[in-house]
């Protein structure tokens, strides 16, 4: 069979240049990671088929001469045979492959956070002014004993009789979600490390190991152990404040990470401890975890390796039976459970998985929190909620549904310029985020974007303080799990029941 020379798939976007404004500075050619632009001797030319609408070119065009528009050429509208479906059939018939993309699903599922409203005080209890009164956001992640073990010292003063299990101290209930060196650039990781240190929170290495440059940030880093075990050794396990065992990820429950060999340069090879140019394909399961009791063994192997000084987190994707799964994980000895909803992001995942597998974090979280309380073990582990936390409002609602803290991934990348184009898997990110091409990575200044990440989390923290004050409480633990302060709108009885909240007005 000979390869067809043309494709049915038309350009999604058009990169239009106003040649009257253009001064031919060629910055667009330099900035575009996709090779859209070239110089035609007297003017800039654009190959529309390469444009992904990542926004880099017009952001950096000094003359404002570029506009990116959706290709107005239409496919005949059909609500059943949607454009994306038709194009995927063409793509797959041309390549015979699985359709892969980056970021979270683009499907329009119901976003439960947008159907939840918050409470505030009026008359019978006073609101508290966060500008004038202390408003506490400090959060500790880790196993909490069910009761305080206290005795008396020689002066008759109360003292702790047994030491608390290890905790991660967060000054605000946010962490940066796991994004590996490989899936994102070292500069992107450095930006998060700088911000995490300044904020008193933590970032997560993902499954790509820990680059030497990040070792000094250990107090603000959670190191991850995933099914590929890339970069895992004893010093690595002991270099952060906690160790996370990654079982699954919201964007791709049930499958492992993929990092193509083209991205594995010398530096990544060293950090991941694999040969240059080999594909880093993590197995779908951990091949030493085929059951919950196996997970327990790995949890305790990690605890042994870290002398019981670090909390062990287990990250899972939100799937149908998540409440029972998390209960098992907690009973297996996890100190933290990180639950990732189906809208969570990824560096690369098959669309079939990303768009169709898993459940919303709001429902998963509510069910998990309820289940752990029913079983009387909610104190045994902290819960981190993730899967597209898009604003401080999402964070507040997640915490009121039962999370101890939330993780942000995509939002942090958006800070660095990401326009959510969903092409992370290609390694051409014009913003220097999800690429290893040195000329692209270089443009991402860790200090500049570290400061912007700091700004974002500070701003969101202030917003949470405003909400707490309006609710009349001055500490985040009075919001955590307090579903009484939430009401649903436009939700069915079944949805309200799953969320454990009342409808507005009741």
What are the structure tokens assigned to 244, written together? 């996370």
Nearest to 486 by CA among 475, 474, 81, 498: 498
Q: Specify the stretch interacting with other proteins by CB under 8 A; choose among 225-233, 325-333, 457-465, 477-485.
A: 477-485
Alpha-carbon distance of 284 to 149, in angstroms, equals 42
Nearest CB to other proteins, comparing residues 153 and 212 = 153
Q: Which of residues 321-340 bind other proteins (CB under 8 A)?
A: none
Pick between residue 407 and residue 476 the one whose CB is nearest to other proteins.
476
Q: Are 205 and 183 in contact (CB under 8 A)?
A: no
Report in angstroms how near the CB of residue 454 gets to other proteins at its nearest: 21
Q: How far is the CB of 467 from other proteins (least distance, A)?
A: 12
DSSP character at residue 208:
G
Only one of the segments 175-183, 236-244, 295-303, 478-486 lies at the binding site for other proteins (rule: CB under 8 A); that segment is 478-486
**Should residue 472 be labelled a site residue for other proteins when binding is judged by CB under 8 A?**
yes
Residue 402 beta carbon to other proteins: minimum distance, rounded to whole angstroms: 9
Give the shortest CB-362-to-other proteins separation in angstroms.
17
- Per-residue x/- track, 355-384, other proteins (CB under 8 A): ------------------x--x-xx-----
Buried b (16+ CB within 10 A) or exposed e, 344-383: bbbbbbbbebbbebbbbbbbbbbbbbbbbeeeeebebbbb
- Distance CA(434)–CA(418), nearest Å, equals 9
* Distance from C-alpha of 397 to C-alpha of 495, rounded to nearest angstrom: 15
Tokens representing 249 are 């990820």
Q: How far apart are CA 183 and CA 426, in angstroms?
A: 10
Please report how close the Cβ of residue 451 comes to other proteins at its closest, in angstroms: 26
Which CB atom, from 133 or from 490, has the smaller least distance to other proteins? 133
Closer to other proteins at the Cβ: 132 or 234? Answer: 132
Cβ-based nearer residue to other proteins, 383 or 479: 479
Distance of closest approach, residue 306 Cβ to other proteins, in angstroms = 20
Q: Is-contact 198 174, C-beta < 8 A?
A: no
Task: Tell me whether residue 42 or residue 157 sits nearer to other proteins (CB atom).
Answer: 157
Please tell me the distance from the alpha carbon of residue 239 to that of residue 241, in angstroms, as a whole number. 7
Which residue carries 């690369």 as its tokens? Answer: 348
Cβ of residue 73: shortest distance to other proteins, in angstroms?
Answer: 54
Residue 64 or residue 145: which is nearer to other proteins going by CB?
145
Shortest distance (Å) from residue 110 CB to other proteins: 24
Task: Give the span between the Cα atoms of 451 and 444, in whole angstroms.
Answer: 12
- Return the residues of window 116-175 that contact other proteins according to CB under 8 A: 121, 123-126, 128, 133-134, 136, 138, 140, 144-148, 150, 153, 157-160, 164, 167
CA 314 to CA 309: how far, in whole Å? 16
Residue 434 CA to residue 444 CA, distance in Å, equals 11
Number of residues assigned to the chain: 506
Residue 328 CB neighbour total at 10 angstroms: 17
Distance CA 298, CA 332 (A): 10
Contact footprint for other proteins (CB under 8 A):
121, 123-126, 128, 133-134, 136, 138, 140, 144-148, 150, 153, 157-160, 164, 167, 373, 376, 378-379, 471-475, 477-485, 502, 506
């Amino acid at each position: 069979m000979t390869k067809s020379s043309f494709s049915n798939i038309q350009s999604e976007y058009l990169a239009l240049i106003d040649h009257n404004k253009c001064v031919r500075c060629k910055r667009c050619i330099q900035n575009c990671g996709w090779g859209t632009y070239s110089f035609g001797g007297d003017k800039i030319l654009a190959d529309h088929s390469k444009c992904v609408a990542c926004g880099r070119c017009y952001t950096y065009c000094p003359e404002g001469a570029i506009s990116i528009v959706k290709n107005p050429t239409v496919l005949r509208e059909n609500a059943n045979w949607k454009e994306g479906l038709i194009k995927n059939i063409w793509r797959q018939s041309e390549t015979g492959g699985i359709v892969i993309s980056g970021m979270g699903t683009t499907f329009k599922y119901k976003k439960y956070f947008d159907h939840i409203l918050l409470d505030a005080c009026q008359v019978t209890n006073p609101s508290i002014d966060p500008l004038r009164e202390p408003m506490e956001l400090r959060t500790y992640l880790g196993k909490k004993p069910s009761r305080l073990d206290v005795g008396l010292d020689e002066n008759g003063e109360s003292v702790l009789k047994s030491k608390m299990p290890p905790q991660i101290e967060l000054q605000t209930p946010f962490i940066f979600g796991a994004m590996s060196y490989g899936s994102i650039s070292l500069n992107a990781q450095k930006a998060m490390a700088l911000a995490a240190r300044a904020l008193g929170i933590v970032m997560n290495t993902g499954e790509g190991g820990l680059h030497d440059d990040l070792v000094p940030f250990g107090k603000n880093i959670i190191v991850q152990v995933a099914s590929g075990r890339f970069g895992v050794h004893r010093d690595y396990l002991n270099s952060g404040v906690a160790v996370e065992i990654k079982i699954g990820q919201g964007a791709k429950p049930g499958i492992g990470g993929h990092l193509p060999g083209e991205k594995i340069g010398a530096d990544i090879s060293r950090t991941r401890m694999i040969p240059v140019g080999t594909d880093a394909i993590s197995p779908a399961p951990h091949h030493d975890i085929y059951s919950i009791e196996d997970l327990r063994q790995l949890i305790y192997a990690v605890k042994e390796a870290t002398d019981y000084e670090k909390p062990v987190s287990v990250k899972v994707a939100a799937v149908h039976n998540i409440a029972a799964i998390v209960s098992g994980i907690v009973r297996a000895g996890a100190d933290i459970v990180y639950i990732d909803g189906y809208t969570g992001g990824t560096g690369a995942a098959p669309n079939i998985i990303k768009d169709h597998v898993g459940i919303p974090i709001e429902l998963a979280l509510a069910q998990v929190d309820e289940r752990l309380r029913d079983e009387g073990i909610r104190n045994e582990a902290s819960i981190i909620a993730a899967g597209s936390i898009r604003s401080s409002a999402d964070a507040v609602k997640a915490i009121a549904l039962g999370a101890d803290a939330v993780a942000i991934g995509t939002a942090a990348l958006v800070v660095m310029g990401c326009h959510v184009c969903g092409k992370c898997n290609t390694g051409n990110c014009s913003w220097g985020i999800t690429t290893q091409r040195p000329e692209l990575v270089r443009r991402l200044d860790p200090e500049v974007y570290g400061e912007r990440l700091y700004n974002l989390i500070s701003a969101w923290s202030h917003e949470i303080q405003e909400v707490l004050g309006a609710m009349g409480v001055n500490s985040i633990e009075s919001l955590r799990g307090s579903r009484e302060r939430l009401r649903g709108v436009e939700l069915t009885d079944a949805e309200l029941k799953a969320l454990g909240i009342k409808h507005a007005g009741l």
